[in-house]
Structure 1
Amino acid sequence: MYDVVVIGGGPSGAIAAEDLARAGRKVALLDKAGRIKPCGGAIPPRLIADFEIPDDLIVARISTARMVSPTGRSVDIPIENGFVGMVDRKDFDEYLRDRAVAAGAERLTGTFIRILRGDTTAVVWRDRETGEERHAVTRLVIGADGARSAVARAEVPGGREIPYVIAYHEIIAAPTPNSGHDAPQDRPAPTGYDPTRCDVIYDGQISPDFYGWVFPHGRTASVGMGTGVSGVDLKAATASLRATAGLSDCETIRREGAPIPLRPLDRWDNGRDVVLAGDAAGVVAPSSGEGIYYAMIGGRVAATAAQAALTSGRAKDLQLARKLFMREHKTVFRVLRTMQDAYYKSDERRERFVSLCHDVDVQRLTFEAYMNKKLVRARPMAHLRIGAKNVAHLLRLVPETYA
C-alpha cells in the first residue's frame, strides 16, 4: 500500500515524489523511462535556487536573448544581474528522478493503463521489462503524465479538452568557433550562432502561431519550433530554420516532438483521490512556452495538496494544488496570454512585437519578471509607459522601427 503513486517522471512528477518522500510518505514514481521531452531547456535563477540545482547540470549560461522579426530584423536583450541556465532534459530529468529515489521514493518502470477501484484504489500499469500488468495499491494518485495526460482524460473534468501546440526540436552538435557557422564578431547577424545567446524567431514561415528557437546547450544546441496549426510540416520548418541560422551541416544527435498545453485546466482534481501536476494540469506559460519551472512548482503544490488530504482525510484538500499555484502565478499567466493573443496572430503583429521589445522598459521588466517569476511592482511609471507603448504599437501609431 502506497500513500501516493505519482504517474509520470518528468520534472513535475519527480519533484512531487521527492517532496512526499521527504515528508515521510510511502511513494511510488511510475515512469516509462527513455522518453526525452522536446524542450529548449531554459531555467531561471529562481528555479536553480528554489530546487537546489547543481552547477554541473547547467550546460550553458545565457547572457543575451535575441528576438528576430519576420523580416529578419533583430533586437538583442541583455540579461542583467544574472543569467538564464540551460539544461539538457536527458540528464536533467534523470537527475530529478534519481533524487526522488534517494529521498525514499520507489521507482517503477512501465506504462500507466488505468485506475481500478473496489475495496481499494490501485494503479494498473504494464511492467516495461516483463510486459506483465501489475497493480500498485494506493491512497492517492498524482497525474504528471504530460499534456495529453491519460490520467486527466480518464479522471478529471475537462481533461480531454485541453488545447495544445505541438513542439518539435532537433538536438544538434553545436558549431565550434572555427567551423564557419559563427557570425563575424564586428557585425552580429540575426542568424549568427552565439553559445551565450538564445534566439527566438517570430516568423510565420517557421511557425504561423508560435515561434522557432535556437538555444545553446554547451556542446549541443536545441533548434525547433511549435505550432497549433494542423498541416504544418514541423521537420521541414525546422530544416528551414537551421538553414537560415547556418546550422544545416551540424550533426543531428536526436529528434523529439510532443504536445505543449496552452492554458491551465479549470480543475486539477477529481474530488476523490486524483490530482494533476505539470503539463497534465496545463501549466505552461503562454507566449513564452516556458514549462520547466512551472512544472516543478506544479509538482510541489500537488505534493502539498496530497499531504494535506492524507493528513486530514478530506478529498477537498486536493483543491489546494490549483489554489496555491494560481495565487502565485495567475496574473503572470493572464498577462502572457493577453500578449500572445495580441501579437501572435500575423507576421505584421509579430513585427510590431519585436519592435516593442527594443524598448528598455520592456526589456528590464520582462526579464526581471522572468528571472524572479513575478510581475515587478516597484516601477509604476515604467508599467504606465509600457502600457501606452503597447497600445500605440497595436493601433499602428508608431512605425516598425527600432529607434
Structure 2
Amino acid sequence: MTFEVIVAGGGPAGAVAALVLARAGRRVLLVDKGTGGPASSPFRIGETLLPAARPLLHDLGLWPEFATGPHLRCVGTYASWGSKQLHGRSHLHDPHGHGWHLDRTRFDAFLRSAAGTAGAELRRAEAVPHLTHVGDRRVLIRGDGRLEEVRCDWVVDATGRRAVIGRRRGRRRKQDRLMAVFALFGRRLPGHRTEDAELRTLVEAVPGGWWYTARVPAGRLVAYLTDADLTDSALRTAEGFLDAIGTTRHVRIRLDGYDPAHAPAPRWTAAHGLRLSPAAGPGWIAAGDAALAFDPLSSQGILTALHTGARAGRTVDLCLSGETAALADYSLFLQRITDAYERHHAETYGQEQRWPEHPFWERRQQAP
C-alpha cells in the first residue's frame, strides 16, 4: 500500500502530526518502536509540560482525556540561580493555570492512541536512514526483525535528535556540549511518614553546571546538566551520583525520605540545543527535536514538539493540496521560535555570574 504520509517517530511531535493528518483525511503510517504501549517503554526524561499547552490540547480535542490522566500538577519553580538562596515563581497568575510533570511513557502512548483513533495506521517499527532519488520517495523501516521499503508522497521526520531523515537533507547546528545525567528515585524509606508532596520544579546552579529535580508520578527525578567534556566518571555509578547530590545545597533536601540503598545507576543523554537547517523541503519536513532541540533549562521541549508537530501536519496537508508556499511559512514559524528561545537562553544564563572563570559558565557568557 502507498501512503500519502509516513511519520517517522511516535513521540509528541510525530503523534500529533499523524493525528492532524489523519483527521484531514490523509492516509498516514506512523512508525515508532514504542507503539506497544506504556509498559513497553522505560522511563524517559523530559517531563515538564508548561501551562501554555492547555489551549493547544483543547484545540486538538485532547484536553478532556488528558485532564484525567496520571500526571502531576506543576505549580511553579524554585531556583537557586545567581544566588545561593531559593527564589520562587508560581503559576498562580498564569492565564492558563498550572503546568504538569508528566508520566512521559503514558503521555506519548496517549497521543499515539489518539492518532490511531483518528485513522492513522500505527506500526511498531523504526525508520532507517535511507537516501532516495528525487521523485522516488521511499522510507526504509525495520520491524519484527525485517526490513521493508514503504512508498509515500511525504515524510515527517519526528525521530528526535537523531533526525534520521532530515540529517541527510539539512545541516545540524549544535549549540553547545550539554549532557544530562539523571536518575529516578522511586523507593521510599520504610516507615518514613512524610510524603513527597512538593509539586514545584527545583533548579540549582553549581560551579560545573546545574541540577534540577521534579516530582513525577513514578517518584522523584534528579538530573545534573554539564558539558560532555566536564563530566566526572564517578557520575556513572549510583554511589558517585549520590555523592554529587550530597554536595548540593537544595536538591539533596528534596531526596529526604528516599531510600539511598535503592538508588538507581544514572543514565546519560544529550541535552544540547540543536537546529536542523533547512528543516523542510520537497517531500519531507522535520518536527519536534528533529527540527529544534532546546536546552532543558527552557522547559519548552514538549510544548514545542506539540506545536511543531501540529504545524508540520497542517503544512503537509496543504502541500498535498498543492499549496507549496506552506513550506516557507513553516520555516518562518520555526525561525520565530528559534529567535525567542535564543534570546531567553542568553538572558537566563547571563543571570548567573558567580563562577565566571569556570569553563561551563565562561563558555555561556562568551556564546553569541
TM over 0.5: yes
CA distance in 1, matches of 2:190, 2:242: 22
Determine the structure 1 residue equivalent to 2:161: 147
- Preserved contact between residue 236 and residue 267 of structure 2 (Cα < 8 Å): no
Q: CA deviation at 1:181?
A: 7.4
- Asked if the contact 1:195–1:218 (Cα under 8 Å) also holds between the matched residues in 2, the reply is no
- Corresponding position of 2:92: 80
Change (3 A) 1:160 1:324: closer
Instruction: Indicate which of 267, 271, 278 corresponds to 1:260.
Output: 271
| TM-fit CA distance, 1:153 | 1.9
Q: Is it true that 1:288 corresponds to 2:288 in the alignment? A: no
2:224 corresponds in structure 1 to 225
- The answer to whether 1:326 aligns with 2:335 is yes
Shift of 1:275: 1.0
Deviations 1:267-294 (A, max 9, x none): 202x322111111112426742530000
**How far is the alpha carbon of 1:6 from its aligned partner?**
0.8
Matched-pair contact (CA < 8 Å) for 1:225–1:238 = no
Is the partner of 2:203 in helix, strand or coil?
strand
Distance 2:78 2:190 in 1: 19
Provide the C-alpha distance between the structure 1 equivalents of 2:88 and 2:47, rounded to a whole number of angstroms: 20
The match for 1:41 is: 47
Over aligned residue pairs, what C-alpha RMSD do you find?
3.2
The CA distance in 2 between the partners of 1:254 and 1:42, in whole Å, is: 22
**Cα gap change, 1:254 to 1:308, in 2 (>3 Å):** farther
Instruction: Provide the C-alpha distance between the structure 2 equivalents of 1:146 and 1:37, rounded to a whole number of angstroms.
Output: 16
Matched letter for residue 16 of structure 2: I
CA distance in structure 2 between the partners assigned to 1:275 and 1:345 by the alignment: 40
Question: Which deviations, in whole Å up to 9, do the C-alpha atoms of 1:365-403 show, x marking residues without a partner?
Answer: xxxxxxxxxxxxxxxxxxxxxxxxxxxxx9xxxxxxxxx
Residues 39 and 109 of structure 1: CA distance in aligned 2, closer, same or farther (over 3 Å):
same
Distance in 1, matches of 2:188 and 2:355, equals 30
- Counterparts of 1:344 and 1:178, CA distance in 2: 40
Separation in 1 of the partners of 2:279 and 2:230?
31
- State the partner residue of 2:120: 105
Q: State how 1:301-340 maps to structure 2 within 5 Å.
A: 301-312=311-322, 314=324, 317-327=326-336, 329-340=337-348
Partner of 1:167: 180
Residues in 1 aligned to 2:348 and 2:141: alpha-carbon distance in whole angstroms:
38
Is the Cα–Cα contact under 8 Å of residues 61 and 86 in structure 1 kept in the other structure? yes
Given that residues 262 and 284 in structure 1 are in contact (C-alpha distance below 8 angstroms), is that contact kept between their aligned partners in structure 2? yes
* Gapped regions of structure 2 (runs ≥ 5): 35-39
What letter corresponds to residue 104 of structure 2 in structure 1?
Answer: R
Larger relative contact order (CA 8 Å, sep ≥ 6):
2
Question: Mind listing any 5+ residue stretches in structure 1 that lack a counterpart?
Answer: 183-192, 354-393, 395-403
Q: TM-score, normalised by structure 2?
A: 0.78
Q: CA deviation at 1:11?
A: 0.6
* Distance of aligned partners of 1:107 and 1:218 in 2 relative to their CA distance in 1, 3 Å threshold: closer
TM-score relative to the length of structure 1:
0.72
Q: Distance in 2 between matches of 1:218 and 1:35?
A: 15
Distance 1:288 1:241 in 2: 23
Deviation at 1:28, TM superposition (A): 0.8
In structure 1, distance between residues paired with 2:15 and 2:108: 8
